[in-house]
Amino acid sequence: MDFSAGIAEEKIKVALQKGEFENLPGKGKPLPKDDLTGVPDELRLSYKILKNGGFVPPEVQLKKEMVTLEELIAVCRDDKERSGLTQRLNEKIIRFNNLMEKRKMSQSSAFHSYQHKIYRKMY
């Protein structure tokens, strides 16, 4: 055991003895299901760090923006404003499709099979 691991272990033991872990939220309950089950083990930590930091892939961000624009269009009463929102949505759809094409998603049979589930998970 290296020096820093020894210090950490000692601090954990002291905290346990003081009862500092007794009233933690979720104590005795199972951990939430890992939503990165399809991600290779060596990439999971990186994905979790990015996710916790609020970073998402560009296609996910675009999809979120597209959903927001679709919702705004659905409730918009002004024709001029609706036209502008529709134009912005069309631009985002084109950018999204270009990103997906660059990643060769359109050629993936697995992607076509699970596309609706993937999109539902994105937003």
Output the pLDDT for position 54: 82
Predicted local distance difference test score (pLDDT) of residue 20: 87
Query: Does residue 72 lie in a domain region?
Result: yes
Predicted local confidence at residue 108, as pLDDT: 62
**Residue 95 domain-assigned (yes or no):** yes
Within a domain: residue 48?
no
In a domain, 47, yes or no: no
Tell me the H-state helices in the chain.
Answer: 3-18, 41-52, 58-75, 79-102, 109-122
The whole-angstrom separation of Cα 44 and Cα 39 is 6
Is 32 a member of any domain? no
Residue reference for tokens 């049979």: 109
pLDDT in tens, the chain (123 residues): 577 888 889 999 999 999 888 888 888 888 777 677 767 788 788 878 888 888 877 888 898 899 999 999 999 999 999 999 999 999 999 998 888 888 765 566 666 666 666 666 655
What is the structure's pLDDT at 116?
67
Task: Tell me the CA distances in angstroms from 100 to 60, 68, 97, 108, one per residue in order.
Answer: 11, 20, 5, 11
Residue type, 9: E
Asked, for residue 69, whether it belongs to a domain, the answer is: yes
Domain housing 105: 56-123
Tokens 């937003």 label which residue?
A: 123
The total domain count for the chain is 1
Question: Distance between CA atoms of 46 and 36, rounded to whole angstroms?
Answer: 11
Q: For residues 72 and 111, what is the distance between their CA atoms, to the nearest angstrom? A: 28
HSE on the CB side for 120, CA within 13 Å?
4
- The Cα–Cα gap between 37 and 49 comes to 15
